[in-house]
Amino acid sequence: MSEITYQTLQVALDARGVLTVALTRPEIRNAFNEIMITELTRVCREEIPRPDVKAIVLRGEGAVFCAGGDLNWMRKSVDLDYEGNLQDTRALTQMFMLLNECPKPVIGAVHGAAIGGGVGLVSICDIVIAARDTQFSLSEVRLGIVPSCIGPFVIAKIGPSQARRLFISAERFNAETAREIGLVHETVADMPALEQALDRVLGNILQSGPNAMATAKRLVLDLSWPERREELADAYEYVAKTLAELRISPEGQEGLRAFLEKRKPAWLTGKR
């Protein structure tokens, strides 16, 4: 077993070739910030390509998988201008793109909650196992912004009909609903059952040809969006710009400030 400890991650490679990437900010529900974004990007570029890595398990330490954006990170975005926000959202989009297009199998072990960007992390996994009491939500519109950077990956996973419903409503939904809409592949009773299911899934994956799995994954991605390379490059820039623009808009500023100040936004109070 080899391990690397980052500021926000614990990365461990076992003798089977399974690379476990654990989010290690349990005190703030594994919310991500610019450091976690940088470190996950680094793992994609430096650790995952290693020839001895055969599969990746993505999970969170503590009570939840990932509760979305860190409040301090969100607070910084309020004070950034458009260019500063665009740099931030481009980095976030690139992180999700690298995780999504990782040529090796990515298995999500999800528990507790996956909120906002946490749903984005679930959506880039090839196989997702979730504890039955896990709660999910795409809650961004309540802050006056949208799930833009994760949008291409969530929509690819659950389809436009469910995305329209959940992007607009920001409703919470449980693991069984997540399974029904395709975000999650399997639900289990509790954490011991999750570990058993994870071992079973990994057992199947580790018997398969690494090149064949990489080719199969690329085949699905390419057939899902013909001529996707040029179109996706435009789409990723579009979603980054969309979120950057909303972050500096009057409604986005009000929504984020209201959330940070623990008060209702103006559109609920009638104040302008």
The count of structural domains within the chain is 1
Q: For residues 184 and 254, give the distance between their C-alpha atoms in angstroms, rounded to a whole number.
A: 33
Residue 181 inside a domain? The answer is yes
Residue 234: predicted pLDDT: 82
Residue 195 inside a domain? The answer is no
Residue 228: predicted pLDDT: 58
Instruction: Report DSSP letters for 166-193, one per residue.
Output: HHHH--EEEHHHHHHTTS-SEEESSHHH
Residue 259: predicted pLDDT: 85
Q: Which residues of the chain have pLDDT under 70?
A: 1, 225-230, 271-272
Domain containing 114 equals 2-190+201-224
SS3 category, 154: helix
- The radius of gyration computed from the CA coordinates of the chain, to the nearest angstrom, equals 18
Say if residues 141 and 165 touch (Cβ distance below 8 Å).
no
Residue 268 inside a domain? The answer is no
**What CATH number is attached to the domain comprising 76?**
3.90.226.10
Q: Note the helical H segments in the chain.
A: 34-42, 71-79, 82-100, 117-123, 151-169, 175-180, 191-205, 210-224, 228-248, 250-260, 266-269
Q: For residues 152 and 236, give the distance between their C-alpha atoms in angstroms, rounded to a whole number.
A: 8
Report if pTM > 0.75: yes
Q: In sequence order, which residues have a C-beta less than 8 Å from that of residue 146 and are 6 or more positions away? A: 140, 167, 242, 243, 246
Segment holding 136, helix H or strand E: strand 135-137
Closest by CA to 214, choosing from 202, 222, 225, is 222
Residue 266 inside a domain? The answer is no
Residue 229: predicted pLDDT: 57
> Residue 120 corresponds to which tokens in the numbers above?
């984005």
Q: pLDDT tens digits, residue range 17-70?
A: 999 999 999 999 999 999 999 999 999 999 999 999 999 999 999 999 999 988
Residue 94: predicted pLDDT: 96
What is the dihedral sign for C-alpha 112, 187, 97, 205? positive
Residue 272 inside a domain? The answer is no
